[in-house]
Structure 1
Amino acid sequence: MQHPSATPTKMLWTLALGCALLTACASDPSRVQPGTGRDQVLQQLGTPTAIYRTPTGERMQYSRGPAGFQVSNVDLDSAGRVYSVRQELNEGLFASTIKPGEWRVEDVLFTYGPPYQQTRVTSFNGTVWSWRYLQINNRRFLYIYVDPTGRVDHYNVGDDLEFDRRRWW
């Protein structure tokens, strides 16, 4: 006999939720192990948002942008095997990754993919590119300042106050 609270509707919702959770886990780039083949990565994660050639193989980029909080780069060697998986939108990595004065727009896209938005400010002659990310569950922005020649001038980070403005309680 079926439990009274186990209605067909509840059972379908439970099944749908379980499938959604399994799909989310399966499509999480951080679960890809080194040595995994390219075809397995594509099967597990689906089509990347961008593919770049590298000196040693290729990079498959999986961006949750433009409004998401993660950009994961899956790097493959010349044999098509994963040797690195890294979630780039991590405040602890910015200082060692971003190269002001050296980086160009192509380097920014290679690392972070398309920005959430591009804006201008009166205090800088160029464009400010921004990405959303989470820092210990706090919504933040990475801002990269690109000069008129396409070179990265500098970067900074700040709080994402848009979410706070939408709260109504």
Structure 2
Amino acid sequence: MKRSLGTLAALGFLAAASLGLAGCANDPTRIQPGTTAAETLQRLGTPTGRYPLNGGGERLQYSRMPAGFEVTDIDVDAAGKVVSATQVLSEARFGQDIKVNEWRQNDVMAFYGRPYEISRVSSFDGAVWTWRYKAVNERRMLYIYIDPTGVVRRYHTGDDLEFDRLRD
């Protein structure tokens, strides 16, 4: 059976479009407020983390770590309805979200999920938790410093130099 190039191109476009739509269905940031928790779980599958919220709600967390660059927190109220879906790895949000000298290790987990890596540096007595993210398509890193008592003492961002080493 012969097909014209136009027909093949149209079929290719339809296949790509359907894959794109399927990808959108699995994009946690596309969950709308008012969606039920059951619908959310059906569309997105098992979250990478589940954390209780004040007032009886729950956070469903979808992280693409360690290879990805996004962590989406979907907050569900006590009635089981989504109130927000937020991609939290964003430089614009770090300053307002991270509570230095207030947040504890559990707060960091409930907000950002498991880090890409946990390391130590000689200039700080404690652990440095690291997440990958993108800022205007540039690969970046978020570093949160947690002291031995489990309290966040500082944070900063930097370039993802590991990626540059892999390309060389």
The equivalent of 1:108 in structure 2 is 108
Residues 70-115 of structure 1, C-alpha deviation per residue, up to 9 Å, x if partnerless?
Answer: 0000001111001111111000111111111111110000000000
Inter-partner Cα distance in structure 2 for 1:111 and 1:4: 50
The equivalent of 1:54 in structure 2 is 53
Q: Where in structure 1 do 4 or more consecutive aligned residues deviate above 4 Å?
A: 4-7, 13-19
Q: How far apart are 1:16 and its partner, in Å?
A: 5.9
Secondary structure of 1:44's aligned partner: helix
Inter-partner Cα distance in structure 1 for 2:167 and 2:14: 32
Residues 56-82 of structure 1, C-alpha deviation per residue, up to 9 Å, x if partnerless?
Answer: 311100001122100000001111001
Inter-partner Cα distance in structure 2 for 1:99 and 1:2: 61
Inter-partner Cα distance in structure 2 for 1:80 and 1:150: 31
Q: Mean alpha-carbon deviation: is it higher for 79-88 or for 18-27?
A: 18-27
Inter-partner Cα distance in structure 1 for 2:27 and 2:19: 12
Q: Mean alpha-carbon deviation: is it higher for 158-167 or for 36-45?
A: 158-167
Inter-partner Cα distance in structure 2 for 1:152 and 1:4: 59
The equivalent of 2:4 in structure 1 is 3
The equivalent of 1:85 in structure 2 is 85
The equivalent of 1:68 in structure 2 is 68
Q: How far apart are 1:20 and its partner, in Å?
A: 3.4
Unaligned runs of 5+ in 1: none
The equivalent of 1:98 in structure 2 is 98
Q: How far apart are 1:18 and its partner, in Å?
A: 4.3
Identity %: 52
The equivalent of 2:35 in structure 1 is 36
TM-score normalised by L of structure 2: 0.90
Q: Mean alpha-carbon deviation: is it higher for 116-125 or for 43-52?
A: 43-52
Secondary structure of 1:96's aligned partner: helix
Bigger fraction of residues in helix = 2
Kindly report the root-mean-square deviation, in angstroms, between the aligned alpha carbons of the 2 structures.
2.0
The equivalent of 1:21 in structure 2 is 20
Inter-partner Cα distance in structure 1 for 2:117 and 2:150: 16
TM-score normalised by L of structure 1: 0.89
Counting matched residue pairs gives 165
Unaligned runs of 5+ in 2: none
- What residue identity is the alignment partner of 1:22? L
